[in-house]
Amino acid sequence: MQRVSWVALSVFVALFALVSWLGFVAARWRRGDLDQLHEWGLGGRRFGTVITWFLLGGDLYTAYTFVAVPALAFGAGAVAFFAVPYTIVVYPILFLVFPRIWHVCRKHNYITAADFVRGRFGSRWLALAIAVTGIIATIPYIALQLVGLQVVIGGLGLSGSAGMASYLPLIIAFAILAAFTHTSGLRAPASIAIVKDSLIYLATFAAIIVIPIQLGGFGKIFAAVPASHLLLAPPGAHSTGSYGAYATLALGSAMALLLYPHSMTAILSSSSGRALRRNAALLPTYSLMLGLLVLMGFFAIAAGVASRPEYAAGFKQFHDSFTVPALFLHSFPPWFVGLSFAAVGIGALVPAAIMSIASANLYTRNIYREFMCRNPTDRQEAHMAKWASLVVKCGALLFILFLPTQYAIYLQLLGGIWIIQTLPAVMLGAYTRWFNEHALLLGWAVGMVLGTAMAIGAHLTPTYVLQIAGYSFPAYSAFYTVVLNTLLAVLLTPIFNAMSTRVPVDETAALDYQG
């Protein structure tokens, strides 16, 4: 059992209390009627460049990122650096595509990506597919934020008791998250993100400066890292090997990231398309931080934290995910450990809150309103979203309490494969109405089924090896399936258009996309 550090715990609790207070008082920040869904679920669409920068950064760079990326470098080596080009590729997509979507959503009061698809293609069934995909892809993502929180709670020495009592700190944090999300909506994570990102930057840059000095410099650190961890294995004959897997993992992840409901919610909460373009230029600073996080996995190898008996219980319980907590416990005084762990803990609250709000928006607008209550009042719609948000968070918590953590990781992997299947309808829909809605729906269905089958066939790892004429092409399953999905939509659109006499429906106009 990890020994409790009361100094670290006190700093952690104090900072956690601060952001909890911020979450509740955020209801009075930029006041709006929180009985309207666009106020509760999108912050009234009033966040400028600076707040959007913190919100998108807090949304995309999560607690699990802070824990999992160094853990991947610690366990698997150089493949962890895929996260750096992946996040760099994201920002041109943000710059080009999403201001167009923002403009049309603002004009037509669309709250979700599924609202946009419903208006663009006139199909509530295609919109339902987008909504359901977003919800099922998001719940395990929320669970992983709670995993990140659970790891740092374990690092503080609070997870050694038996039974459900070991989850008590996690349940308390969940209750606080649920309360301020219900009360303040998207304003809560937007205000907390400022504190979270400041702490994350402070902890990361301190680690990059202090730990190499303690270990004798970067030369000694890289000398201690096994050669197999420093470079990708070269591909063999008749195979693209790890190079193909690395490239498609980075590209596929970049194509999927902004399609997640929490990403779309943060984007649509912005005050203008110009604010989004500015953020596309400013957000790569987070990619720099991500590259520094990868190095922490190598620091942990050089420091030998996995072989130290005082951290054995943590590695036994959390495996490689305990890499960062062990490294900070080994390298810093207790007060700074508490600050750093609070950064990760707060880093769980921000994306978890946005993810639950985003899922609630999808359920309320594209399931409840479309199929259950066609004309709800604004108050009914907002209240339904608040309760749906609570249900989504409860589902994520049940993952942690009653299922092995690995299940959440597996489902989050599948979530990436699922969410990318919405790309043709959402991203290509931002540029053209040429596609037939039935062709898009069939392409989505094939991508979902085949992507799930590929992941299962690859033993729930991200890479599927395609064999063609004696050549093997390992690649990210999501990349293969979204290409097939798009090809099917392209090939089937003329066929379905020829079979149908219905005039295509499009609520939007070309000028809507230009603001």
Residue 277 CA: distances (Å) to CA of 93, 156, 215, 287? 10, 40, 41, 17
Q: What value does the mean pLDDT take over residues 492-513?
A: 87
Please measure the distance between the N-terminal and C-terminal CA atoms of the chain and give it in whole angstroms: 58
Closest to 318 in 3D by CA, of 80, 169, 149: 149
Tokens 């037939």 label which residue?
Answer: 436
The dihedral over CA atoms of 288, 351, 96, 505, expressed in degrees to the nearest 10, equals 170
Q: What is the DSSP letter of 372?
A: I
Specify whether the CB–CB gap between 359 and 135 falls below 8 A: yes
pLDDT for position 164: 53
Closest to 479 in 3D by CA, of 469, 497, 465: 465
Q: What is the DSSP letter of 157?
A: T
Q: Cα 6 from chain centroid?
A: 32
Please give the CATH architecture assigned to the domain spanning 6-233+241-514.
Up-down Bundle (1.20)
Specify whether the CB–CB gap between 487 and 510 falls below 8 A: no
Residue 421 corresponds to which tokens in the numbers above? 């299947």
Q: What value does the mean pLDDT take over residues 414-431?
A: 94
Answer yes or no: is pLDDT of 1 > 60: no
Least confident stretch, 6-10, 102-106, 263-267: 6-10
How many alpha carbons fall within 13 Å on the CB side of residue 295?
A: 19
At position 432, the amino acid (one-letter code) is T
Distance CA 167, CA 171 (A): 6
Cα three-residue angle 304-407-354, rounded to 5 degrees: 90
Closest to 321 in 3D by CA, of 300, 340, 336, 335: 300
Q: Cα 70 from chain centroid?
A: 17
Q: Which residues contact 434 (CB under 8 A, 6 or more apart)?
A: 493
Answer yes or no: is pLDDT of 98 > 90: yes
pLDDT for position 78: 83
3-state class of 410 per DSSP?
A: helix
3-state class of 215 per DSSP?
A: helix
Distance CA 67, CA 325 (A): 8
Residue 355 corresponds to which tokens in the numbers above? 């993810």
φ, ψ (nearest 5 deg) of residue 399: -55, -50
At position 188, the amino acid (one-letter code) is A
pLDDT for position 196: 84
Tokens 């669970």 label which residue?
Answer: 143
Closest to 61 in 3D by CA, of 256, 350, 318: 350
Mean predicted lDDT score pLDDT of the chain = 87
φ, ψ (nearest 5 deg) of residue 458: -95, 20
Q: Given pLDDT bands bounded at 50, 70 and 90, which one contains residue 289?
A: confident
User: Tens of pLDDT along 219-256?
Assistant: 999 999 888 888 888 887 878 888 888 889 889 989 99
Answer yes or no: is pLDDT of 431 > 90: yes
Specify whether the CB–CB gap between 435 and 424 falls below 8 A: yes
Distance CA 127, CA 125 (A): 5
At position 207, the amino acid (one-letter code) is A
Tokens 């309760």 label which residue?
Answer: 387
Burial 250-289 (b: 16+ CB within 10 A, else e): bbbbbbbbbbbbbbbbbbbbbbbbebbbbbbebbeebbeb
Q: Given pLDDT bands bounded at 50, 70 and 90, which one contains residue 376?
A: confident
Residue 328 corresponds to which tokens in the numbers above? 């900070």
Distance CA 212, CA 297 (A): 12
Least confident stretch, 282-286, 363-367, 406-410, 435-439: 406-410
pLDDT for position 76: 84
Across-strand partners of 474?
Answer: 465
pLDDT for position 167: 72
The Cβ of residue 450 has, within 10 Å, a number of other Cβ atoms equal to 18
Residue 451 corresponds to which tokens in the numbers above? 């992507």
User: Tens of pLDDT along 9-52?
Assistant: 888 889 888 888 888 888 787 777 888 888 999 988 989 898 98
Q: Which residues contact 335 (CB under 8 A, 6 or more apart)?
A: 7, 8, 11
pLDDT for position 160: 52
Answer yes or no: is pLDDT of 466 > 70: yes
Residue 460 corresponds to which tokens in the numbers above? 């729930």
Closest to 183 in 3D by CA, of 364, 383, 348: 383
Residue 311 corresponds to which tokens in the numbers above? 């951290």
Q: What value does the mean pLDDT take over residues 376-384?
A: 89
Question: What DSSP letter does each residue of 13-39 carry, written as one string?
Answer: HHHHHHHHHHHHHGGGTT---TTSHHH
Answer yes or no: is pLDDT of 162 > 50: no
Distance CA 498, CA 495 (A): 5
Q: What is the DSSP letter of 504?
A: P
Answer yes or no: is pLDDT of 61 > 90: no
Answer yes or no: is pLDDT of 128 > 90: yes
Specify whether the CB–CB gap between 133 and 112 falls below 8 A: no
The dihedral over CA atoms of 439, 114, 356, 281, expressed in degrees to the nearest 10, equals 100
pLDDT for position 87: 84
pLDDT for position 2: 58
